[in-house]
Amino acid sequence: MKRFLVFHILFGLNISLSIFIFSASCLAQSSADGYTQMKGGNYSAALKIFSTLTEQHPKVADYWRSIGWCSYKLKKYAKAVDALSKSLEMESYAKVDNKVRGKAYYNLGEYAKAITDLERYMPSFPHDAATRLILAVAYKKEGKFDEAEKELKKVAKDSPTLKQYAKLQIATIASKRGKSSASANLFNEMKESLIEGYPMDELIREKINLTAEKVKFAAAKGDKRKWNASVALGLDYSDNVMFLSSDTVTPADTSSGGDASVFMTATGKYQILKSGPHSIDGTANLYANKHISEDDADVIKITPKISYGFTGWQRWNLRSTLGIDEMMVDNSVRSIYFSQQGMLSWNLTMSTLLNYTYANNDFKDATSARENRDGSYHTFKAIQYYKLGSGRRVNLGATLKSNKTKGDEFESTTFGFNGGYRHPFKWNTQMDYNANVGFTNYANPSLFSTPPLSEKRSDTTYGLSISWSKELSARLSANLSIGYSAKSSNIASYEYSKFSISPSLTYLF
């Protein structure tokens, strides 16, 4: 009997030990596979493996750490913060986790938390210049300019590669403090050191040269100057083609004609208040267009506005604007509008712009057709921006516009999409490519056509444009815009196509 019991006990222990060894072997193999995937850069596969391991073994800090690092590499910053917080609860001495979590906080726009983590990390790794640079910029974002400048000087000392960027940040801090003269001197030092051959991207080199000139120009104007003004002069040429149907206005016909005009835009801006994250600005804009053809009406437009801005609230920048848009001379119309805009920065590469605008239009022309156009607009706009590096940028957006008028036939709803791409080139030059499409439906048939229409109008608009700009100096820039737009409609008399080209020069006072 005793032999039987001993046999069964030993047999059970052997089975348990075998199961434990097998389980440990599988566990080791799974974690090894995860680390192999991480080493090979396949972070998605590694994340799945370590997520499974944490479900089975939630008390292993290495698995949570691996999830945090993989999530950071995949730009899942919130998930990285959660995972690294768990690993630090178990192993608070792992300062590298503070580094990665701090960088994740930075990309989430939570700069105060990023500073806390990176301050814990830096004493253990004092020569990690790249991480120290992130800490310095986080200080700058929080308005702690003394701490930022101190860290940037250490970066410039420890890293020849990052030295120029650190000096650029120091110069911008001096400019933000109102020390434009000191900032200009720093930029001039950078220009001299660039000639000595520091490794730097050609586009960044040109940008620093131009920025140095701009800051020097700002210093010459005076450190506390609150206003600035600019004037743009240009030529605008467009070629229009209208398609008229046989059952509405005239017999079937097409009309085309080139139209050339010279224009001037004068803009003045005055900073009424600047206190911490709060700012109030007043802006006035005058636009005048003189047609070369005597058949076309000249245009004068005045646009004064006042805006309040709030920056630094976590990842949001907010701006409220109240303005008047008044077109004078012929086709006079006054528009009073209110706009609320918010910019959300998700991380260093992605941001979202949201805008709501309410406008009330008053056509001063006494004709009944134009009186029936009086009314209000509600416009909602959302644009997503993606930075691709080296100054390149992609944007995708959508717009919803509702037009409520006195005359029901002019009420409409428009839904549109737009997209764009920006690409910088050498010599302080950049190109913008934009495309848009919009769909407009009118509430009722138009009663003002001859004869009146029984069918509701529905339009589709298309647009393509290419813009070129070059900063010739701190004060002068050249611009060229080429565009094509067209409208198709179920009512042929409203269809058109238009090609335009517009070169201009802008001068900053």
pLDDT 10s per residue in the chain (509 long)?
444 334 344 334 343 434 333 344 445 556 677 788 777 778 888 888 888 888 888 888 888 888 888 999 888 899 999 999 998 888 888 888 899 999 999 988 888 899 999 999 999 888 888 899 899 989 988 888 889 889 988 988 888 777 777 877 777 777 666 555 555 555 555 544 443 333 344 455 555 555 555 555 555 555 456 777 888 888 888 776 655 443 444 433 444 556 778 888 888 888 888 776 788 889 888 888 887 765 566 778 888 888 888 775 556 788 888 888 776 555 567 788 899 988 887 776 788 989 999 988 776 655 555 566 678 889 999 999 998 866 788 999 999 999 887 766 678 899 999 999 988 877 668 899 999 999 988 877 665 555 556 677 888 999 999 999 887 876 788 999 999 998 888 776 667 788 889 998 988 87
CA 195, CA 166: separation in Å to the nearest integer? 17
CA 300, CA 200: separation in Å to the nearest integer? 47
DSSP, residue by residue, 289-324: EEESSTTSPPEEEEEEEEEEEEEEETTEEEEEEEEE
b/e sequence 77-116, b meaning 16+ C-beta within 10 Å: bebbbbbbebbbeeeeebeebbbbbbbbbbbbbbbebbbe
Q: Is residue 409 part of a domain?
A: yes
CA 467, CA 194: separation in Å to the nearest integer? 30
b/e sequence 175-194, b meaning 16+ C-beta within 10 Å: beeebbbbbbbbbeebeeeb
pLDDT score recorded for residue 397? 95
pTM score of the predicted model:
0.58
For residue 52, give Cα distances in angstroms to 327, 337, 497: 65, 55, 59
Q: Is residue 13 part of a domain?
A: no
Per the structure block, which two tokens stand in for 359?
């406008």
Q: Is residue 205 part of a domain?
A: no
Q: Is residue 450 part of a domain?
A: yes
Query: Residue for token digits 């008399």?
Result: 493
For residue 230, give Cα distances in angstroms to 289, 305, 310, 327: 17, 16, 25, 20
Per the structure block, which two tokens stand in for 261?
């005009």
CA 10, CA 449: separation in Å to the nearest integer? 101
Residue 432: CATH number of its domain: 2.40.160.40
Contact 97, 68 (CB under 8 A): yes
Q: How many helices (H) and strands (E) does the chain have?
A: 12, 14
When divided into structural domains, the chain yields a total of 1
Q: Is residue 380 part of a domain?
A: yes
Query: Residue for token digits 């001495």?
Result: 93
Query: Residue for token digits 């650190």?
Result: 166
Triad 110, 116, 119: Cα angle to 5°: 130
Triad 184, 473, 182: Cα angle to 5°: 5
470 burial via Cβ count (<10 Å: 0-12, 13-18, 19+):
middle
pLDDT score recorded for residue 100? 92
Per the structure block, which two tokens stand in for 257?
């004609």
What domain range is 319 assigned to?
227-508
CA 472, CA 497: separation in Å to the nearest integer? 34
CA 391, CA 425: separation in Å to the nearest integer? 9
HSE-up (13 A, CA, CB side) for residue 82: 6
pLDDT score recorded for residue 253? 43
How far apart, in Å, do the first and last CA atoms of the chain sit?
A: 107
Closest CA to 457 of 468, 449, 465: 449
Backbone angles phi, psi at 34, to 5 degrees: -65, -45
HSE-up (13 A, CA, CB side) for residue 169: 28
Q: Is residue 84 part of a domain?
A: no
Q: Is residue 208 part of a domain?
A: no
| Cis before 451? omega within 30 | yes
Per the structure block, which two tokens stand in for 344?
């959300």
pLDDT score recorded for residue 116? 92
Closest CA to 312 of 462, 112, 15: 112
Q: Is residue 39 part of a domain?
A: no
CB atoms within 10 A of CB 71: 24
